[in-house]
Amino acid sequence: MTIFSATGISASYGRTRILHDVDLPELHDDEVLGLLGPNASGKSTLMRCLTGEKTHHGRIVLDGSDRDEMDVSAWHRRVATMPQTPPNPSVLMPTELMWSTARALDLDFSDRELADRIEDIFNRLGLDEFALSPLHVLSGGKRQLVGLALALLRDPDVLLLDEPTSALDLHWRMVVLDLVRERLTERGGVVIAALHDLDLAARYCDRIVLLEAGQIVASGTPGEVLTPDNLARVYHVETSVSRDEQGQPVVQVIRPIRSGKQVAR
């Protein structure tokens, strides 16, 4: 059973305050939280605070333990991040990257177990034929999948995904998010994903937090958050929101809203 909460998160770069006292809803097993918001809304900074890369104020609590009181390596064994940038296109092979990660993090696998685990993850992500190819022959999308494979290697209880589908085509977007969902059903845990795509968010997230300029504008179920008013306020677009068979919102963007005030922002 995993319970994750982050409250009162504030962070700055130099003197510029990026996040203002952000409270995320408490997440329980099997839940997916989507972070939505335009560019520079603070999504990535919030993700970096959650991983522990960025110093910040506020409390992050996993199963009753405050992160500040937890051992760093114990934290990183339970919480894994897939950063926005895919692994560099070097001569390194995906298998070597996975292998060195497991050994650098002191994951408790024998060589045989580790190889089998890497092979299993690569099979699920369709990377099996590239396991021993240099990363530079892989497309950007495939490298992004290697990034996800790296996060899955630790079998984390909390999976943080920073725009996990930005380099992927339609097919792989759905494969990745289906896989993340399936994994939750199989083993529990929680997922927090920063997303750009509103329809993917509506389809895969249980809760959504909508950010603007480092503050929460709306928080709740996709149906509660993805309303034409909220989207007009945050993204400055006119939308029409309908419902699909499951009752989830489907967003159709009609046109950008041009007003003197908003263009100036």
Partner 1 sequence: MAPADLSLHDRFGAIHRRRLMIISAMVLALFLSLGLDLAAGPAGIDIGDIVGGILDPQSLALRYRIILWEVRLPDALIALAVGAALGLAGIETQTILDNPLASPFTLGVSSAAVLGASLAIVLVPVLPFLPEAAILPVMALLFALGSGILILLIVRWSGGARETVVLFGIALVFLCNALTAGLQYLASAEAVQQIVFWTIGNLTRAGWLEVGLVTACFMIILPFSLRQVWIMTLLRGGEAHARSMGINVARLRMWVILRISVLAAFAVCFVGAIGFIGLVGPHIARLLLGEDHRLLVPGSAICGALILSLASFLSKALVPGVIIPVGILTAVVGVPVFLGLLAGRRKTI
Q: What angle do CA 25, 209, 156 make, to 5 degrees?
A: 65
Contact region for partner 1 (CB under 8 A) — 8-16, 24-32, 144-152, 242-250? Answer: 144-152
- Interface residue with partner 1 among 131, 159, 190, 251 (CB under 8 A) is 131
- Interface residue with partner 1 among 132, 253, 254, 263 (CB under 8 A) is 132
Picking from 55, 53, 78, 56, the residue whose alpha carbon sits closest to that of residue 65 is: 78
Can residue 99 be called a binding residue for partner 1 (CB under 8 A)? yes
The dihedrals phi and psi of 183, each to the nearest 5 degrees, come to -65, -40
Can residue 66 be called a binding residue for partner 1 (CB under 8 A)? no
- Residue nearer to partner 1 on the CB measure, 118 or 218: 118
- The residue count for binding partner 1 (CB under 8 A) is 42
- Interface residue with partner 1 among 2, 41, 45, 81 (CB under 8 A) is 81
- Interface residue with partner 1 among 115, 179, 213, 237 (CB under 8 A) is 115
Alpha helices in the chain (DSSP H): 43-51, 72-78, 94-104, 111-124, 140-153, 170-187, 198-204, 222-225, 228-235, 260-264
Q: Find the helix or strand (DSSP H, E) in which 52 lies.
A: none
Can residue 75 be called a binding residue for partner 1 (CB under 8 A)? yes
Can residue 111 be called a binding residue for partner 1 (CB under 8 A)? yes
Residue type, 196: H
Can residue 70 be called a binding residue for partner 1 (CB under 8 A)? no
Contact region for partner 1 (CB under 8 A) — 84-92, 164-172, 187-195, 228-236? Answer: 84-92
Q: Say how far apart CA 228 and CA 240 lie, in whole Å.
A: 6
Q: Say how far apart CA 40 and CA 211 lie, in whole Å.
A: 10
- Interface residue with partner 1 among 40, 63, 66, 103 (CB under 8 A) is 103
Place of tokens 């692994």: 87
User: What is the SS3 assignment for 47?
Assistant: helix
Please list, in sequence order, all residues whose beta carbon lies within 8 angstroms of the beta carbon of residue 245, skipping any fewer than 6 positions away.
Answer: none
CB 211 within 8 Å of CB 41 = yes
Can residue 53 be called a binding residue for partner 1 (CB under 8 A)? yes
Per-position x/- string for 145-184, each x denoting binding to partner 1 as judged by CB under 8 A, each - no binding:
--x--xx---------------------------------
Can residue 191 be called a binding residue for partner 1 (CB under 8 A)? no
- Residue nearer to partner 1 on the CB measure, 112 or 255: 112
Please list, in sequence order, all residues whose beta carbon lies within 8 angstroms of the beta carbon of residue 103, skipping any fewer than 6 positions away.
Answer: none
Can residue 68 be called a binding residue for partner 1 (CB under 8 A)? no
Binding site residues, partner 1, CB under 8 A: 51-53, 72-73, 75-76, 80-88, 90-93, 95-97, 99-101, 103-105, 111-112, 115-116, 118-119, 122, 131-132, 135, 147, 150-151
